[in-house]
Structure 1
Amino acid sequence: MDSDERPGYKKVKTGRGFTYSYYFSAANAGMPVLFFAHGFPSSSFSWRHQIKAFQGYGLIVPDMLGYGGTDKPVDPTAYIGSALAQDMVDILKAEKIGQVVGIAHDWGTRVLSRLIDYHPERVSACAFIGAGYGPPNSKGTDPISKSKNLADMMGYDIVAYMRFFIEKDVWELIEKNLDSFLDLLYPATPKVWKENMCVDGGARVWIKHNTRTSLPSWTTQEDRDHQKRELTAGRMSAPLCWYKVLVEDEHYEDDAKVSSERRVVQQPLLFIACTQDCITRPEFGDETHGQNINVTGNLTRREVDADHWAVESHPDAINAILREWIEGLQGAT
């Protein structure tokens, strides 16, 4: 285990040889350890408001594979679910932590889902923000394969951007016009996604033309500069592997290893739905949870009137919901 140059961060090499960087803070006596998993195209920096708000709890906040101070392999098969889950277990072992309360957003929900599936003893409870628990995929059930069905259901091409993100040359285009890419991914208004991310070829046109817009009200230029530094520490080909792995046979073969019994979440689960998110729609999480949760009082559902980035745009609301739920868990033990 090595130290990271950032205050509070450590580094550890996992069993498969990848070095992870993560923020760590030890728990005060009697307090649980919270594990935070971020998504695309973020880093542990996206949890900065939660890190500040939950001091006193144990905190483990990794830069996920492909991001920040963590290694950045460009082989999509490095991002299969069981391997990512085992990486998280290796971090817990390095800190001698047996169990965590898992909290995830965006692609981090896939990591937490597989951690629950493969290592349920490591997760005492789980919170999913925006996207819900993600059951293992069989061939043809991933969002990219189901894009036409999803478009027919929703009335718009909800995952058009995913098809763009798995194209061969996309990482070069994004790196060339990184500011435009970040303006699109972190829009000033939610309608930018529906008008561009959810239109076939729309994301490519936006970035190719180097389209720019203002920062959202909740982002400072300092925050954006920090995010750019972390993304440019590697190549965009690594973060995009989180999408590309979905069309790899190894992904389906790996998910098939999860038994039917393990596909039912037994832990208490909090789902925070973001009502203005036009892509990770609340109804998707609701449908999945209705099928994949042991609902003997285990499911708590809350809403935030925010788009996809509620963790950063509405931290007070998110933190209040999380704190109430976590304190309820402690009261139940």
Structure 2
Amino acid sequence: MWCPHSPPGCHLYQPHTRISLHPRGLKYHYLFSPADSSGLKPTLVFLHGFPSNANEWRHQIRFFLGRGYGVLAPDLLGYGGTDKPTDVAAYAKSLMSADIIAIMDEEGITKTKVYAVGHDWGCALISGLATFYPARFAGFAFLAVGYLAPTPDYNFEAFNASAKALVGYECFGYFYFFAEEGADKIIADHIGTFLSILYPHDSKMRLAHMAPRDKIKDWVLSRKMTPPPSYLTQDDLDVHKAELLEGGLAGPLCWYKQYTTGMVAEDDKLVPKENYVIKQPVFFAATLNDHICPPEVGLVSLKPGCPNLTIKEYHTDHWVQLAAPEQLNKDLLEWIESQ
């Protein structure tokens, strides 16, 4: 599954696929290549967001493999070749964090330095790794979305209102549609229209047709289309569409339901309070043209929760790893090598 859409030369590496993990017995599809034999290069764990898979990291994988780094890039729960449970409780950060640690243990990633790099919901999972397993990592990089600090009293309505007060408009209205019963089937029936608003050529279209409550559902049902951004071809979107239709959207949408139902609050109660502040170095990629996840919202938790914080700004939309891969790769490399 990986190689047809992976970086050139991926046939030189043998990715493990569908490894059974315990105690949950779930199967994860992932690419792993160990660091070079010098013992000096760290391993990077790349965690994608919605509605993607590990292929989202193709530019970063090629760049860092070429420099001797180890790379672990899983399809996260609900995506790609990984299992897709529809029980929302299966998507708790504590459980998915344990899954990633199990993969690391399976591959012997225990002695090398490890940096976790996440985008979108991958940042939520990095937040789980940072708070449940801080000793396993040398640093954390958050792209577009910031650190989701433990919030035992989390309430989505309050969070949505506070973000609106901060930036002057509703950012997360699309959560309501994604949490609706049957939203996965509506999206599947209009997958082309859905992807066109997630990846529009003009990022401001997401501000009008995705951020406010009910607008994305209206867009999806309208069957409207908008051209893709310059960093994606129609072929890219066609492949993405086929993968999503094959696996369905019920699993990926569970990531949102963790938050709209408040399940995340119970999970956050498990985090030791001494782990609320991330002590390792943290990198934040602020995507200045991202109207859905504006940097101001991410910085609310990053500044108090990450005292060793490096911020880099990018004039891109949400998908900085696709829109500005050369600059992002350069900045990540400099940040890691400065530690």
Q: Displacement of 1:207 after TM fit?
A: 0.3
Secondary structure of 1:48's partner?
helix
Find the aligned partners of 1:112 and 1:249 in 2 and give their Cα distance: 19
- Whether 2:119 is the aligned partner of 1:105: answer yes
Q: In 1, Cα distance between the equivalents of 2:233 and 2:70? A: 28
2:21 pairs with 1:14: yes
Equivalences for residues 191-270 of structure 1 within 5 A:
191-248=204-261, 250-270=263-283
| Counterpart among 100, 103, 115 of residue 91 in structure 1 | 103
SS of 2:296's equivalent in the other structure is helix
Q: Which amino acid aligns with 2:313?
A: E
Decide whether the 8 Å contact of 2:154 with 2:264 is kept in 1: no
Q: Is the CA contact (8 Å cut-off) linking 1:77 and 1:248 kept in structure 2?
A: no
1:66 equivalent to 2:78? Answer yes
Matched length: 323
What secondary structure, in the 3-state scheme, does the structure 1 residue paired with 2:94 have? helix
Task: Give the CA deviation at 1:120.
Answer: 0.7
| Shift of residue 121, structure 1, vs aligned partner | 1.2
* Residues 4, 10 of structure 1: 8 Å contact kept: no
TM-score after normalising by structure 2: 0.91
Of residues 277, 290, 304 in structure 1, which corresponds to 2:290?
277
Q: Deviations over 1:115-155 (max 9, x none)?
A: 1111111111111111111102323444x543233323322
Residue-by-residue CA offset, 1:91-127 (whole Å, 9 max, x unaligned): 0010011151111110000111101111111111111
Give yes or no for the alignment of 1:123 onto 2:131.
no
Task: Summarize deviations over 1:178-217 as a string: whole Å, max 9, x none.
Answer: 0110001111111111111112211001001111111111
CA distance, structure 2, for counterparts of residue 25 and residue 105 of structure 1:
20
The CA deviation at 1:229 is 2.4
Structure 1: segments with no counterpart, 5+ residues: none
Alignment of 1:137-216 (within 5 A): 137-142=151-156, 144-216=157-229
SS of equivalent residue, structure 2 residue 250: coil
* Aligned position for 1:53: 63
Aligned to 1:33: 43
Specify the SS of the correspondent of 1:128.
Answer: strand
TM-score, structure 1 normalization: 0.93
CA distance in 2, matches of 1:139, 1:289: 19
- Secondary structure of residue in 1 paired with 2:311: strand
**Residue type of the partner of 1:267?**
Q
Equivalent residue letter for 1:203: I
Runs of 4+ in 1 over 6 A off after TM superposition: 3-6
Report the AA paired with residue 150 of structure 1.
Answer: A
How far apart are the structure 2 equivalents of 1:275 and 1:214? 21
1:81 deviates by: 0.7
User: Take 1:129 and 1:62, find their aligned partners in 2: how far apart are those partners?
Assistant: 17
Residues in 2 aligned to 1:279 and 1:213: alpha-carbon distance in whole angstroms: 17
RMSD over aligned CA atoms reads 1.6
Q: Secondary structure at the match of 1:53?
A: helix
Q: Determine the C-alpha separation between the residues in 1 that align with 2:139 and 2:48.
A: 17
Structure 1 residue 280: deviation in Å? 1.4
* Matched letter for residue 24 of structure 1: F
1:10-51 deviation digits (Å, cap 9, x = unpaired): 121121111001111111122110100000001001101011
Distance 2:194 2:127 in 1: 28
Please tell me whether the aligned partners of residues 161 and 198 of structure 1 are also in contact (alpha carbons under 8 angstroms): yes
Structure 2 residue runs of 5 or longer lacking an equivalent are 5-10
| Partner secondary structure for residue 187 of structure 2 | helix
The equivalent residue for 1:292 is 305
- Cα distance in 1 for partners of 2:164, 2:285 equals 24
Q: What is the CA–CA distance in structure 2 between the aligned matches of 1:222 and 1:198, rounded to whole Å?
A: 27
* Alpha-carbon distance, 1:228 to partner: 1.6
Residue matched to 2:7: none
